[in-house]
Structure 1
Amino acid sequence: MWRITLYFFILFTIDSTLVNGESKVPCFFIFGDSLSDVGNNNILNTTDKSNYLPYGVDFPGQIPTGRFTNGRTIEDFISQLLGFQRYINPYSTQMDKDILRGVNFASGAAGILPKTGSRWGDRVGMDQQLKNFNTTISKLKSMVGGPVTNYLNKCLYTINIGSNDYIDKYFMTKNYPTGNQFATNQYARQLIARYKLQLQALYDSGARKITVFGLPQIGCTPAAFIRFNSTKCVNEVNQAVEAFNTMLVSLVDSFNAKLHMANFTFINLYSMQASTSPPSGSDTKHACCKLRSDFLCEPLSTPCQNRKSYEFMDGFHPTEIVNEIVSNIIFNPPNSFVHPMSISQLIN
């Protein structure tokens, strides 16, 4: 579970207002699932939405934007650290020249595999997110001076995806046969093979500064405790995730060694989550809100009062304080949770 105490001493104070001045990169493009979604699912025919309170209760203006947390996402905090005046908008609402700052393509329930999340309704999987990125590139060509790849080379890219391929697909044997068909390592290899093609396509489109998030301990979420009727982290789930993460590190190293000017870095959320003991009084096993049967928050339910002492907003998603801690750790100088470099090193 997220261990909050270890990191308070390295937190930087970030206002709800964004940093003034020039941004450290010209643009920031975001890919992923509900951990990064800032509203793309709002317009989709899906039950996997968060555009209602208590989501957003701590977001500026107490607005439920479609972020699956009580406030800001990891990428929101990163955009502040990068010096952007405003958060990066979702693809669903991108407007004209605003795409020069970047676009958020992430979608709740999305996965590496195209069928992941289908039982919840519409979602924008990783393959489609890349198609949306190419559509955005075609628009950028008329906005930037010179070859568009020269502009894209300088931007930051983050990808945080894969959790649903396990939560929704591999361990939901009632809905999918996947978990019965593949052993843990076989399934991880299948995911990595697909992910390799997707990351290669992103590189081929012009991306060079690429941050790839490993999967967290999804066996230690409130949803896992309930689904597996356990009071402890579900080792079966976490071991499956570890297999994926190990292969993803190797893929990142391979890209860095073989692709010209490639700068990939891996974020070890799993180790970060397991590092230390939680502070006294913090809740690491329960959601901050009343849960529906799908482990999202019950609409208009009253959330917990001290949200800074809860690790999870709902059955799956961290609270804002966790997102803030993670963003500062991965942005700043090297530590054991980034490989081979932090985001600040990556963009420089």
Structure 2
Amino acid sequence: MAIWLFLVALNLSGRLVLGAPQIPCYFIFGDSLADDGNNNNLLTLAKSNYPPYGIDFSDGATGRFTNGRTIVDIIAQLLGFDKYIPPFATARGNDTLQGVNYASGAAGIRDESGQQQGDIISLNRQLGNHLITVSRVREILGGNESAYLNKCIYTVGMGSNDYLNNYFMPNIYPTSSMYTPEQYADVLIKQYKQQLKTLYGYGARKVAVIGLGLLGCTPAEISRFGTNGSACVDKINNAAVLFNNQLQPLVNEFNSNFSDAKFTYINTFAISTTGPGTAGLISNATCCKVDKELGTCIPYETPCSNRTIYVFYDGFHPTETVNLGFAARAYNALLPSDASPYDIRNLAMI
């Protein structure tokens, strides 16, 4: 493990964070990379509330799709929170004042994405859940919720399942026969734009939009499609690039149009391919034994003994080691390409 990543891991090895949080609350919208238990009681195959998930997490298998902490768990710690942000499924009372996690495994920008796995909470539904939270915060604070909420940070990481659990499943979804990859990126960005506007309308003023990563390099997609001699599934990565290439200008547009808000773009693709990245880690195998149909860990099977040397815990999701490196660079950019125009640390300070 590179020295900088080792130091991050050392500093965040416990849950104790000294000092008050840098912001009053942190709200999280996303998919399985951020889910911390919202899918647990849904009728869905997109679940991870069983061992060997959570083998390195303080509370065991909670519904996080990794061996330990997720990226947003670590970002919350870096922001100074001494507790993880609770899932909407269980967040009640004053807990909501520090933020809520709405993320749902298999969820997408489009409502239908991921539905072949069962009930999932799409971004539109997550926004509806946030409106419920806003009303709860209003009730607790006695009507001063806007001044409170606009100091908080919001991270939104969506789009992976609109590709992996929609566009690249032509036997289930018609989107790939309806749109070229370029057209599909257009359609997704237009819908995403409206959803992010809705979030702004609900009081969000500090928003970090997380781009798509190397979707075509996940073991599950390589197993499914093959690589034709490349290292990864190029057609999937190329589609993700088309989406990202429109997402960063969208962030710039929001900053131009909404003078009272600050949006930023977290460049997952660049973080994955520049700097220390995942050099030296095993990327061509999964740490846990996976269900070949779902790409998730087979329940109760023993995973690899050294989780710190693997990129992927299951067929889609990174290990805590990789999450540590990504979260560190999203929070405090190592390179200018990591985040634009701000990293999360600077977004918090604005």
> TM-score, normalised to structure 1's length?
0.95
For 1:298, the equivalent position in structure 2 comes to 298
For 1:57, the equivalent position in structure 2 comes to 55
Q: Which amino acid aligns with 2:337?
A: S
For 2:85, the equivalent position in structure 1 comes to 88
How far apart are the structure 2 equivalents of 1:196 and 1:151? 24
Offset of 1:7 from its aligned partner? Answer: 5.1
Q: Which amino acid aligns with 2:207?
A: I
Structure 1 pair 5/182, CA: closer, same or farther in 2 (3 Å)? farther
Whether contact under 8 Å (1:40, 1:106) holds in the other structure is yes
CA displacement 1:224-267 (0-9 Å, x = unmatched): 11001236211111110000001000100000011121111101
How much identity, in percent, do the aligned residues show? Answer: 46
- The residue matched to 1:42 in structure 2 has which SS? coil
Within-5 A mapping of 1:220-235 = 220-230=217-227, 232-235=231-234
2:200 corresponds to 1:203: yes
* RMSD over equivalenced CA pairs, Å: 1.6
Within-5 A mapping of 1:151-170 = 151-170=148-167
How far apart are the structure 2 equivalents of 1:5 and 1:223? 26
Whether contact under 8 Å (2:272, 2:278) holds in the other structure is no
Within-5 A mapping of 1:1-348 = 5=2, 8=5, 11=8, 13-61=11-59, 63-144=60-141, 147-230=144-227, 232-275=231-274, 278-280=278-280, 282-292=281-291, 293-333=293-333, 335-348=336-349
How far apart are the structure 1 equivalents of 2:138 and 2:183? 41
CA displacement 1:289-329 (0-9 Å, x = unmatched): 11102110000011111111100010100100111111111
CA displacement 1:140-162 (0-9 Å, x = unmatched): 11212553111011001001111
Q: Which amino acid aligns with 1:91?
A: F
Offset of 1:23 from its aligned partner? Answer: 0.8
Q: How many residues align?
A: 343
The 10-residue stretch of structure 1 (271-280 or 139-148) with the greater mean CA deviation from structure 2: 271-280
Q: Which amino acid aligns with 2:124?
A: D
How far apart are the structure 1 equivalents of 2:140 and 2:278? 48
Offset of 1:172 from its aligned partner? Answer: 0.5
How far apart are the structure 1 equivalents of 2:115 and 2:147? 37
CA displacement 1:107-166 (0-9 Å, x = unmatched): 001000000011100010000100000011011112125531110110010011110000
Offset of 1:16 from its aligned partner? Answer: 2.1
How far apart are the structure 1 equivalents of 2:8 and 2:36? 23
How far apart are the structure 2 equivalents of 1:146 and 1:40? 28
Structure 1 pair 10/193, CA: closer, same or farther in 2 (3 Å)? farther
- The residue matched to 1:134 in structure 2 has which SS? helix
Any gaps of 5 or more consecutive residues in structure 2? none
- The residue matched to 1:29 in structure 2 has which SS? strand
Q: Which amino acid aligns with 2:57?
A: F
How far apart are the structure 2 equivalents of 1:6 and 1:151? 38
Whether contact under 8 Å (2:278, 2:322) holds in the other structure is no
How far apart are the structure 1 equivalents of 2:3 and 2:234? 23
Q: Which amino acid aligns with 1:43?
A: N
The 10-residue stretch of structure 1 (294-303 or 17-26) with the greater mean CA deviation from structure 2: 17-26
Whether contact under 8 Å (1:225, 1:285) holds in the other structure is no
Any gaps of 5 or more consecutive residues in structure 1? none
